[in-house]
Chain A
């Protein structure tokens, strides 16, 4: 088997693959750098407030000073159009003439917020008019509520609690979620990439061997067919792991780049660590933490899913007529991975009702996508049931693969359909 494995690896790890991988890595990093710019300058406004001051009074100057005190950079122009064309603004907040006079007369004023529509992108700018509004309120509060009346700003304090696994602890739900969900989010992505890449790699490899008729030479050599299948599966797994590792590293690096691009100057490390410790304590109290045995189970689910994807790919590759149809042949695996992956990202599969849920549970990959969720929320029946189901599914597929590679179907699968097949 080792001999065949070496050959498979030398076939798969070629110069083109390594160049493609390196290019992908660089592209992902570049995407991260690009996203940093997009998020900081477009989504978050980059801390810049674009002001068109048509009132030009002491009060409007105070508003701008207040914004700068809050850490915003104030950029001004004579008109919104001038800002858009000369300074490439994406939005403008217009302080209208007579605004101060209206406020002095205790009349509400209107602030115009102009946003540029340059594309239909969902990441288009949302503007910073709300902070201007907040600055005006702050200044008026200071002016009219002089004295120690700060409590009026927040007359009632909210104390967040979270309930899970039959327990309630004092902690914000979002803080707990972000502390436990990093791996929960990375695992489905890595799994999705692994399954899809593995399927395409192995199906294309087998289909190419069929087209070149090298498979016939290989299968008539004095090596057991189970060794040949195992070598192909292992080689595809190693290649896919390489791809997934590089992609995952790229995504993590891109994510770190994106995060590091945000304004973290005000972050106090001591406070942050203390917050993390309290959230960690809350996680432990709620029992959301996954124990070591649980992680072993999650990894077992992951291994089983990969085994299923590999074996199914070997079968589909064997049934594929030629390299051209390899892409189409991988569609069933792609769809069976994509549906649970997408649904697990946008909803809780475990709380779905009816036939839809059972259809999803019939797809073995679903159980790995919900594995960490099931562990976090003590849904052990679903977790261990899914593990057993995947193990049985894999066993059946392995038997089917062995039967296929010892049967005529491997070479006659297309014969009955194709008139030109040699007899």
Chain B
């Protein structure tokens, strides 16, 4: 089966600072891929390049066969991006917010309705969807944003620290939603996180970034084995400290 995402030697620098150095990896349909790295390792830059917000200095990536350099418009038609600590339009109700983004994805009203219904079901906010978003808690906004990101069944959902700042139960809900959407819709997920236990229990595979370089890549079990560790957290520590 063709990979949903194929990254080929992506690099990006800000002035003299090399943020991402020749990173390459692939993600299959329905696969959940976790990016691990310290602050400033290059995770957000990599995700923003794949979301077509930043242009790579060199290399390319193909999402559903479309180049992020040559055909960013086509790429945007098959991805969704959830930035770190993203807010939502505070004056809208949750339902209108979902309807607005569904309208960006398709002009067909019947399809828009299906997307919105799916989003409502995914976020599980019930009657709260009729309230203004300004009244929502951080956890509710995150659930709504995630629903927005996956309701139209994108080929690839790019999530930057999706559970950042959330409590245990909200984080659990978000992880379950990601797993369910990957299984049901075949959506591939690329997510970054500092919660390595979260990646260990959610991601099928993952990669460790340090100073923009890809240090290691594989399943949680393979990464543990590669660094002779019992947990992913331990493997990450050894990878980052010893290289």
Binding site for B on A (CB under 8 A): 3-4, 7, 10-11, 14, 211-214, 216-224, 407-408, 410-412, 415-416, 422-423
Contact B54 A217 (CB under 8 A): no
Decide: A216 near B14, CB < 8 A? Known: A14-B91, A422-B39. no
Decide: A220 near B53, CB < 8 A? Known: A10-B92, A423-B17. yes
Contact A423 B81 (CB under 8 A): no
Q: Which of A10, A217, A408 contacts B86 (CB 8 A)?
A: A217
Q: Which of A211, A219, A222, A412 contacts B14 (CB 8 A)?
A: A412
| B residues contacting the other copy or chain, number (CB 8 A) | 42
CB distance from B112 to the nearest CB of A (A): 10
Contact B104 A11 (CB under 8 A): no
Contact A423 B42 (CB under 8 A): yes
Contact B86 A212 (CB under 8 A): yes
CB distance from B93 to the nearest CB of A (A): 11
- Cα separation A224 to B74 with both chains bound (whole Å): 10
Across-interface contacts of A407 in B (CB, < 8 A)? 55
Contact A222 B101 (CB under 8 A): no
Contact B101 A221 (CB under 8 A): yes
Q: Which of B86, B101, B103 contacts A216 (CB 8 A)?
A: B86
Contact B100 A3 (CB under 8 A): yes
- Cα separation A423 to B82 with both chains bound (whole Å): 16
Instruction: Let me know if B181 is at the binding interface, CB within 8 A.
Output: no
Contact A216 B81 (CB under 8 A): yes
Across-interface contacts of B76 in A (CB, < 8 A)? 220-222
Instruction: Let me know if B5 is at the binding interface, CB within 8 A.
Output: no
Instruction: Let me know if B126 is at the binding interface, CB within 8 A.
Output: no
Contact A224 B81 (CB under 8 A): no
Decide: A423 near B44, CB < 8 A? Known: A3-B100, A213-B85, A220-B80. yes
Across-interface contacts of A222 in B (CB, < 8 A)? 73, 76-77, 104-105
Across-interface contacts of A10 in B (CB, < 8 A)? 91-92, 96
Contact B53 A221 (CB under 8 A): no
Instruction: Let me know if B148 is at the binding interface, CB within 8 A.
Output: yes
Instruction: Let me know if B3 is at the binding interface, CB within 8 A.
Output: no
Counting chain A CB atoms within 10 Å of each CB, the highest count among B41, B80, B100, B145 belongs to B100
- Cα separation A4 to B91 with both chains bound (whole Å): 15
Contact B86 A415 (CB under 8 A): no
Closest Cβ neighbor of B158 among chain A residues: A220
Closest Cβ neighbor of A415 among chain B residues: B14
Decide: A216 near B53, CB < 8 A? Known: A3-B100, A423-B40, A423-B44. yes
Decide: A216 near B51, CB < 8 A? Known: A412-B14, A423-B45. yes
Residue interface mask B90-127, A partner, CB < 8 A = 1: 11100010001101110000000000000000000000
Across-interface contacts of A410 in B (CB, < 8 A)? 53
Contact A408 B54 (CB under 8 A): yes
Across-interface contacts of B89 in A (CB, < 8 A)? 7, 11, 212, 214
Across-interface contacts of B82 in A (CB, < 8 A)? 217
Instruction: Let me know if B19 is at the binding interface, CB within 8 A.
Output: yes
Across-interface contacts of A4 in B (CB, < 8 A)? 104
Instruction: Let me know if B84 is at the binding interface, CB within 8 A.
Output: yes
- Cα separation A10 to B99 with both chains bound (whole Å): 13
Decide: A422 near B77, CB < 8 A? Known: A11-B89, A14-B91, A217-B148. no
Across-interface contacts of B9 in A (CB, < 8 A)? none
- Cα separation A188 to B107 with both chains bound (whole Å): 42
Pick 11 A–B contacts, CB within 8 A, sort by A. A10-B92, A212-B90, A213-B84, A217-B82, A217-B86, A217-B148, A220-B51, A221-B80, A222-B77, A223-B104, A423-B42
- Cα separation A224 to B42 with both chains bound (whole Å): 27
- Cα separation A416 to B104 with both chains bound (whole Å): 32
CB distance from B125 to the nearest CB of A (A): 18
CB distance from B212 to the nearest CB of A (A): 8
